[in-house]
Amino acid sequence: MKEIAVIGLGIIGGSICGALTNAGYTVDGTDLNEAAVEIAKQKGYIRKKAERLESYDAVFIAVSPQATIELLTTEKFKDGAFVADICGVKQAPERAVYSKKRNYRYIGLHPMAGKETSGIASATPELFKNANLVIAIAEQTDETTLKEARAYAEAMGFGKLVECSAREHDQKIALTSQLAHIVSSAYVKSDRVKNCDGFTGGSFQDMTRIAGVDEKMWTQLYFHNKDCILEELNGFIEHISAYREALESGDKEKLSELLKEGRLIRETIKRGND
């Protein structure tokens, strides 16, 4: 059985450790926070702290975007090792990997799973059960590496696997995740948001749930995918401005038309793992 190392023992990295350990793999983990390593060991997610990464057959990198790029370009890995990053953007790390000679097999992964909480305490081997996994495929990706990625995905319990280019991933994620977090962050800045007790329902919870991001990590994500996010953000501003203009001008017919357009589009959208 191949020996696996996971770098970064937050909710995603910790859950990868737990899921692969439960699937029978030998998994070690490392984190800048030694307490996270100890918790992962106590939970039985890892065998021990991962050291000398060049000794592992497979390495999963689950840290911030900039740290991911630095590891991919400076760390020593085993010849022919399977190395996957779990970063929320895919073009930046892919460009970094293929900009220089390397001795390992690289692939970019992005689990569509998580919680409102973070850290190793929130990790669980069941986090990825029936979740979606995006696999970013480059021109250099060989079938052996892709096959191995699919096998790990199956072992972790993922449901639907979506295979696409890094560019397509970043374009889609700019809309489905990154823009949504920006909108949520802006939404909670209303002066009235702190005095809504008794007035909130599902819509308020849905709109505010993802405002609590790690600002340092998400700033990195946004700037590594700036062009795609700006394209979506500019489109959103254009659309939202149309609603404001209809209200300001008293154009009820236009507002009704805008709402109808949104309703009809919403009816065509697949949700979850459909």
pLDDT (tens digit per residue) in 124-144: 999 999 999 999 999 999 999
C-beta separation of 180 from 152 below 8 A: no
What confidence tens digit (pLDDT) does each residue in 219-256 have? 999 999 999 999 999 999 999 999 999 999 999 999 99
The string of pLDDT tens digits covering residues 8-26 is 999 999 999 999 999 999 9
CA distances from 55 to 5, 50, 111, 174 (A): 9, 10, 26, 36
Does residue 105 contact residue 142 with C-beta atoms inside 8 Å? yes
Mean pLDDT value of segment 97-121: 93
Within 8 A by CB and 6+ apart from 247, the residues are: 255
Q: Check: CB of residue 13 under 8 Å from CB of residue 62.
A: yes
Apex CA 138: angle with CA 227 and CA 154, to 5°?
Answer: 105
The torsion angles phi and psi of 72, rounded to 5 degrees, stand at -65, -25
Q: Max CA-CA distance within the chain? A: 68
Domains within the chain, CATH numbers bracketed:
3-164 (3.40.50.720), 168-266 (1.10.3660.10)
Instruction: Determine the Cα–Cα distance for residues 7 and 25; give it in Å rounded to an integer.
Output: 16
For residue 273, pLDDT beyond 60: no
pTM: 0.92
| Tokens linked to 142 | 């060989």
CA distances for 64 relative to 9, 10, 116, 140, 237, angstroms? 12, 11, 17, 24, 28
CA 55 to chain centre: 27
pLDDT at 114: 83
